[in-house]
């Protein structure tokens, strides 16, 4: 049984991870940690049989419960501190928390290797969203021009989404350079009308209540268009990717960036 500890267990994603891990027959919830915890029972949070209590001292819980993998869905300001503690103990980490800089990633690669362990960071754990990016890469080799529309709930603070940026970068890489879009002499009568430009690809961000996370890549060719669309309709969609990563990470050392890396 793979022993998995959930860090950020009281958060929206952390609660989903508690449910997902406890539903797997080859995994067991080894611990639950959240900085805001004050003795909550895991059984009450996710309606399962469990003696686990959510605790707030990650270092102590790691020492007491000895997990093989920690899943971290906390907050950008907290995650590097958490990972320094986790990796120093030689424990593997599966991370959905966002907001890493290039320097952070270099430090994590070093920390993981120095402690003979691994950290997998996936900005998007949805299997479907990762396949969407692969399909976009494949299409970009043949269809010369693409624009991206990403649509999210209105609580999202950043625009464009990280997934849209990553998709644009992959499309450009697959084309071997900048993608031509629109008329060379086009001009915006209203600033922003043509969207933002990332790596030469136009991205249009929609923010409305009712959406979760959605993206379309529209490819235009001679007399044809191709639309690749992905919809995340609930946070559950991230869980198959998290479970996949928990199982796969035992085989790795160092930093693995992106779910795509372990999807075969
Ligand atoms: N990679 C993905 O596929 C994916 C998908 C959705 C969200 N996210 C990211 O996951 C993160 C969490 O999102 P959320 O919606 O669950 O947020 P949330 O605010 O609902 O939950 C975060 C939880 O982390 C806890 N926390 C904060 N600092 C902590 C610390 N030092 N130690 C332990 N716990 C701590 C908070 O108390 C809170 O319960 C965000 O960065 C978000 O962008 C990633």
pLDDT in tens, 95-104: 999 889 999 9
113 and 159, same domain (yes or no):
no
Residue-level pLDDT at 162: 87
94 and 158, same domain (yes or no):
no
Average of per-residue pLDDT values in the chain: 95
Mean per-residue pLDDT, 241-264: 96
**Residue bearing the CA closest to ligand 1, atom 19:** 11
* Torsions phi, psi for 43 (to 5 deg): -55, -40
36 and 103, same domain (yes or no):
yes
Residue 180's pLDDT band (cuts 50, 70, 90) = confident
95 and 161, same domain (yes or no):
no
Number of domains in the chain: 2
Mean per-residue pLDDT, 162-191: 91
Q: Tell me, rounded to whole angstroms, the distance of Cα 65 from its chain centroid.
A: 26
Judged against a pLDDT cut of 80, whether residue 179 lies above it is answered with no
135 and 217, same domain (yes or no):
yes
172 and 229, same domain (yes or no):
yes
Q: Where in the sequence is the domain holding 88, given as residue range(s)? A: 2-121+236-262
Mutate to test the pocket of ligand 1, among 6, 74, 99 (most ligand atoms within 8 A of CB): 74
Residue-level pLDDT at 144: 76
Residue-level pLDDT at 164: 95
CATH number at residue 142: 3.30.360.10
Report CA(83)–ligand 1 centroid distance (Å): 14
Higher pLDDT, 226 or 144: 226
Q: Which residues are catalytic?
A: 152, 156
224 and 175, same domain (yes or no):
yes
74 and 56, same domain (yes or no):
yes
88 and 181, same domain (yes or no):
no
Residue-level pLDDT at 264: 84
The number of residues making up the chain comes to 264
136 and 32, same domain (yes or no):
no
76 and 61, same domain (yes or no):
yes
Q: The whole model's pTM is what?
A: 0.91
Residue-level pLDDT at 122: 95
**Cα separation, 69 vs 60, whole angstroms:** 15
Q: For 51-88, how does the pLDDT look when each residue is reduced to its tens digit (9 = 90+)?
A: 999 999 999 999 999 999 999 999 999 999 999 999 99
Exposure string of 90-105, with b = 16+ CB inside 10 Å and e = fewer, is ebbbbbbbeebeeeee
């Amino acid at each position: 049984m793979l022993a998995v500890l959930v860090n950020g267990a009281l958060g929206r994603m952390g609660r989903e991870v508690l449910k997902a891990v406890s539903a797997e027959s080859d995994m067991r919830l080894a611990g639950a940690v959240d900085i805001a915890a004050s003795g909550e029972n895991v059984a009450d949070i996710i309606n399962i049989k469990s003696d686990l209590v959510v605790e707030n001292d990650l270092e102590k819980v790691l020492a007491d419960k000895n997990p093989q993998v920690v899943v971290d869905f906390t907050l950008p300001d907290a995650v590097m501190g958490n990972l320094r503690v986790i990796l120093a103990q030689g424990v593997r980490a599966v991370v959905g928390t966002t907001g890493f800089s290039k320097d952070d990633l270099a430090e994590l690669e070093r920390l993981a290797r120095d402690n003979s362990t691994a950290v997998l960071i996936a900005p998007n754990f949805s299997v479907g969203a990762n396949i969407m990016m692969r399909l976009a890469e494949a299409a970009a080799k043949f269809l010369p021009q693409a624009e991206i529309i990403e649509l999210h709930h209105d609580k999202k603070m950043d625009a464009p989404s990280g997934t849209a940026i990553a998709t644009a970068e992959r499309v450009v890489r697959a084309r071997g350079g900048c993608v031509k879009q629109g008329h060379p002499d086009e001009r915006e009568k209203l600033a922003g009308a043509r969207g933002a430009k990332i790596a030469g690809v136009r991205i249009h961000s929609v923010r409305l209540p009712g959406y979760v996370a959605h993206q379309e890549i529209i490819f235009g060719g001679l007399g044809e268009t191709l639309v690749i669309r992905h919809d995340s309709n609930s946070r559950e969609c991230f869980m198959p990717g998290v479970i996949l990563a928990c199982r796969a990470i035992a085989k790795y050392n160092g930093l693995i960036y992106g779910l795509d890396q372990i999807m075969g």
